[in-house]
Chain A
Amino acid sequence: MSEPLLEVSDLQVYFPVYGKGLVPRHINDVKAVDGVTFQVGRGETLGLVGESGCGKTTTGLAVLRLIEPTGGSVVFDGVDLSTLDKRDLRLLRKRMALIFQDPYASLDPRMSIGAIVGEPLEIHRLTQTRADRDDRVGELLELVGLSPDYRNRYPHEFSGGQRQRVGIARALATEPDFIVCDEPIAALDVSIQAGIMNLLEDLQDELGLTYIFIAHDLSAVQHFSDRIAVMYLGRVVEVADRVALYETPQHPYTAALLSAVPVPNPAVQRTRQRIILEGDVPSPLNPPSGCSFHQRCPKAFEPCPHVDPALRTTKRDHDVACHLHDPALSGAAGA
């Protein structure tokens, strides 16, 4: 990994739950993100993968402080975001952008494409005259493969893939260094997904962007990312290089997730060893004691229900939160 642009440590996002009583009492927290630590190197893509409810999107939003974290720190290019006041944070937003999952909901239906892409320029006063802004909007539209002539059209006239391109153009308007892509292809058809992924790759090469790529589709994440963090129930359970994660997954959850991803090749799909997990993801309102995966884990052993495993480095650039890989306990695992 290159020099880190973003360092996230022990990030927590809790959503308070109130009782139903007359005077609502704070009774519990949904620990949507519960102690997440990772770094993203400059020019790198970190994939954040997990099933619904694992906290991957919340992590992405908390990193940008679009949701206030409950605890932990996010350091962006040497600046601790939690120390910034509203104004400074707004200024810093120039350098960080977000691309959304739903290309239909993320564009204001009452604004033209030109106004949508031009809005960040207006907010940060990046262009002086109207003509400047129009020129820049045209450039941005071309950059994402749309004709500048479309600037007076409205979102409803575009297809999902085209709207996603508009969203990307908007994100690029302020020339950010860092973009969180929150499931940018999940809402698109297969034949359109590839185009968006290729576009994002090209833009990264050309503009030197740093990405966090959030997705539930492990194949897409694996294709797109340099390193991958796997999340389960608000925690990162494993972080590794894309190849290492695929070839030698260390966490049983990662292994199960990999084996559940259907491979579009019948010869492979029908012969490979698959791990089918039992049951469902537990409620984040009431996570199990110890390792939150232990109830479903095919390899759970004595310490798992009691001790919460910490994320530790087991190999170079490969971190895992599992007792199986704890040298102090590995004997007890008994294989």
Chain B
Amino acid sequence: MSDPILSVRDLRVRFGTKRGVAEVVNGISYDLHAGETLSIVGESGSGKSVSVLALMRLLAEPPAAIAGSVLLHGRDLLKASHRDMRSVRGKDLAMIFQDPMTSLNPVRTVGYQLSESMSLHLGLTADSARRRAIELLDMVGIPSPDVRIDEYPHQLSGGMRQRVMIAMGLSCDPDVLIADEPTTALDVTTQAQITDLVAELQQRIGMAVIWITHDLGVVAGIADRVIVMYGGRFMEEAGVNDLYAAPNHPYTDGLLGSLPMPGADRPEKLVTIPGLPPDPVAMPPGCPFAPRCVHSDASRCHIEVPVFEPDRARHLVACHYPLQVTA
């Protein structure tokens, strides 16, 4: 396999809060290869969004403190100067966000916001930036782009705004597009439009995608590889088919069991995971999932943090007692 575009090693993010230090991301490592879609799945508070904001260096420091390394084409972004980092953002690494209403500036036109990064990173003139902006709008499926380009965000529907965000993200041909819950604020039929659009554009352009979401249904449709995150750590990492067919981690298994599946048959009861996610200010010493896990034992799980065993080939699990399911 080729060298990864992006390598994240032992990334940690802590926040100073009134109640103490919140350990939000606790040492995560992964590689992203050209053209692949990696999905990081987790519930609220799992640290999934913070982990990508940290690698974009979009968190205010302080209160955040970031450690580890983020290698983009072999260069450590966490050591880059602010100036270098700015030349990476929007050009090599682009990002789209959850709420397209608030993520677009209400007093600037679509065209203004689209052209901005192109004139910055590609040095396009106003005219050519505008021409390209119209092309981009057309590419993301916005009808009459030559009219829409002069409109303001409030004149567009939610789905359209997210398309504009995607166009903005793709404007400088990034190597990596980071999508932070891009369909959570949208209705299902719009969500389907957006996921299909990103998949199609990825085929055409070939960028790698990191897709952050809480929705295991969306992941099933778009991801090549999936990472399940909980309590700031990775629980399981596998190819998408493997993960759904044979979840090895009790948490993954519980999550999948708790989902109502559309269909004629229904289970008597959905699986529930008792308890609450850990408090980032008071992380349990061992496995973060141990307090809620039916398989946990006091001697190992509550004391020793499980890590990925690299020998398990392409299906990694951080658990002392992984479920013995095979695909």
State the A residues within 8 Å of B (CB): 51-52, 159, 161, 189-191, 193-195, 197-198, 201, 216-220, 222-224, 243, 246-247, 256-270, 274, 276-277, 280-281
A258 to chain B: closest residue by CB: B262
Instruction: Name the contact of B188 in the complex, choosing from A195, A257, A264, A269 (C-beta under 8 A).
Output: A257
> Are A260 and B188 neighbours in the complex by a CB distance under 8 Å?
yes
A261–B217 CA distance with the chains assembled, in angstroms: 8
Q: Does B246 contact A (CB under 8 A)?
A: no
Whether A260 contacts B215 in the complex (CB less than 8 A), given A223-B260, A276-B196, A280-B160, comes out as: no
Assess the A191–B260 pair: CB atoms within 8 A.
no
Known: A222-B260, A277-B193. 18 other contacts (CB 8 A): A52-B187, A191-B43, A198-B269, A201-B269, A223-B262, A246-B263, A247-B264, A256-B189, A258-B262, A260-B188, A262-B217, A264-B217, A264-B244, A264-B256, A267-B244, A276-B196, A277-B189, A280-B160
User: Which of B19-27, B52-60, B121-129, B270-278 interfaces with chain A?
Assistant: B270-278
Which residues of the partner chain A approach B277 to less than 8 Å between Cβ atoms?
A: 189
Q: For residue B143, which residue of chain A has the nearest CB?
A: A279
Residue interface mask B145-163, A partner, CB < 8 A = 1: 0000000000001111000
14 A-B contacts, Cβ less than 8 Å apart? A51-B190, A189-B214, A190-B216, A190-B259, A194-B273, A246-B262, A246-B264, A258-B262, A262-B215, A265-B244, A266-B221, A267-B245, A277-B193, A280-B160
Q: Could you tell me which B residues sit within 8 Å of A by CB distance?
A: 43-44, 157-160, 187-193, 195-196, 214-221, 240-241, 244-245, 254-264, 266, 269-274, 276-277
How far is A161 from B277 in the complex, measured between Cα atoms in Å?
A: 12
Structural contact, A270 and B196, CB atoms closer than 8 A: no
A-B interface contact total, Cβ < 8 Å: 130
CA distance A158 to B261 in the complex (A): 29
Contacts A246-B263, A261-B217, A266-B241 given; does A194 touch B189 at CB 8 Å: no
Which residue in chain A gives the minimum CB-CB distance to B226?
Answer: A266
Q: In the complex the two chains form, is A193's CB within 8 Å of B258's CB?
A: yes
Chain A at the B interface: mostly helix, strand, loop or mixed?
helix
Q: Main SS of chain B's interface residues? A: helix
Q: Would you give the shortest CB distance from A286 to chain B, in whole angstroms?
A: 14
Closest chain-A Cβ to B271's Cβ sits at a distance in Å of 6
> Across the interface, which residues of A come within 8 angstroms of B214, CB to CB?
189-190
**Judging by beta carbons under 8 Å apart, are B263 and A190 in contact?**
no
* Contact call A194/B220, Cβ cutoff below 8 A: no
Question: Once the chains are docked, how many angstroms separate the CA of A193 from the CA of B238?
Answer: 25
Would you call B192 and A266 a contact (CB within 8 A)?
Answer: no
Give Cα A259–Cα B221 distance, bound, in whole angstroms: 12
Is there an interface contact between A266 and B220, defined as CB atoms closer than 8 Å? yes
Contact B215 A191 (CB under 8 A): no
Q: Smallest Cβ distance from A310 to chain B, in angstroms? A: 24
Q: Among B43, B157, B189, B259, which residue has its beta carbon within 8 angstroms of that of A264?
A: B259
Q: Point out the residue from A198, A218, A277 that lies within 8 Å of B262, measured CB to CB.
A: A218
Complex contacts, A281 vs chain B, CB 8 Å = 187
- B262 CB contacts on chain A under 8 angstroms: 218-219, 222-223, 246, 258, 261, 263
Chain A neighbourhood of B159, CB < 8 A? 280
Given contacts A191-B272, A277-B193, contact A262 B260 (CB under 8 A): no
Nearest CB of chain B from residue A101's CB, rounded to whole Å: 15
CB pair B43–A219 under 8 Å, yes or no, is no
The CA of A266 and the CA of B218, in the complex, are separated in Å by: 9
Q: Which residue of the partner chain B has the closest CB to A270?
A: B221
Q: B244 near A191 (CB under 8 angstroms)?
A: no
Say whether B260 contacts A220, CB under 8 Å: yes
Residues of B within 8 A of A262 (CB): 188, 191-192, 195, 215, 217-218, 220-221
Across the A-B interface, give the 3 residue pairs with the lowest CB-CB distance, nearest first.
A262-B217, A223-B260, A194-B258
Cβ-closest chain A residue relative to B215: A262
Residues of B within 8 A of A189 (CB): 43-44, 214, 277
A56 to B: closest C-beta gap in Å: 12
Cα distance, A281 to B158, chains bound together (Å): 11
Whether B260 contacts A266 by the Cβ 8 Å rule is: no
Given the complex of chains A and B, what is the CA–CA distance between A277 and B187 in angstroms? 12
CA distance A161 to B276 in the complex (A): 9
The interface residues of chain A lying within 8 Å CB-to-CB of B195 are 262
Chain B residue at smallest Cβ distance from A274: B192
Distance in Å: Cβ of A153 to nearest Cβ of chain B: 15
Set of chain B residues within 8 Å of A267, measured between Cβ atoms: 241, 244-245
Residues from chain B with Cβ under 8 Å of A277 in the complex: 189, 192-193
Kindly provide the distance from the CB of A335 to the nearest chain B CB, expressed in whole angstroms: 24
Bound Cα distance from A190 to B219, whole angstroms: 14
Contacts of B193 in A (CB 8 A): 276-277
Decide if B260 touches A216 in the complex (CB within 8 Å).
no
Flag if A190 contacts B220 (CB, 8 Å).
no
A51, B219: Cα distance in complex, Å: 21
Asked if B255 contacts A190 (CB within 8 A), the reply is yes
Q: List the B residue with the shortest CB-CB distance to A262.
A: B217
Beyond A51-B189, A216-B187, whether A198 also contacts B270 by CB under 8 A is: yes
- Complex Cα spacing A274 to B258, Å: 25
Q: In the complex the two chains form, is B43's CB within 8 Å of A260's CB?
A: no
- Cα distance A267–B261 when bound, in Å? 14
CB contact between B220 and one of A193, A198, A259, A264 (< 8 Å): that residue: A264
Q: Which residue of B lies closest to A243 (CB)?
A: B264
Tell me the complex Cα distance, A193–B259, Å: 8
B240 in contact with A266 (CB, 8 Å) = yes
Q: Given the known A-B contacts A197-B260, A219-B262, are A260 and B217 also in contact in the complex, defined by CB atoms under 8 Å?
A: no
Contact indicator B270/A197 (Cβ below 8 Å):
yes
User: What residues of A have a CB within 8 angstroms of the CB of B274 in the complex?
Assistant: 195
Q: Which residues of B contact A243 (CB under 8 A)?
A: 264
Q: Is the CB of B240 within 8 A of A190?
A: no
> Which A residues lie within 8 Å of B157 (CB)?
280
- Are the C-beta atoms of A190 and B261 separated by less than 8 Å? no
Residues of A within 8 A of B217 (CB): 219, 261-264, 269
Q: Provided the pairs A220-B260, A266-B244 are in contact, do residues A194 and B272 lie with their beta carbons within 8 angstroms?
A: yes
Contacts of A161 in B (CB 8 A): 276
Q: Establish whether residues B271 and A194, one from each chain, have CB atoms under 8 Å apart when the complex forms.
A: yes
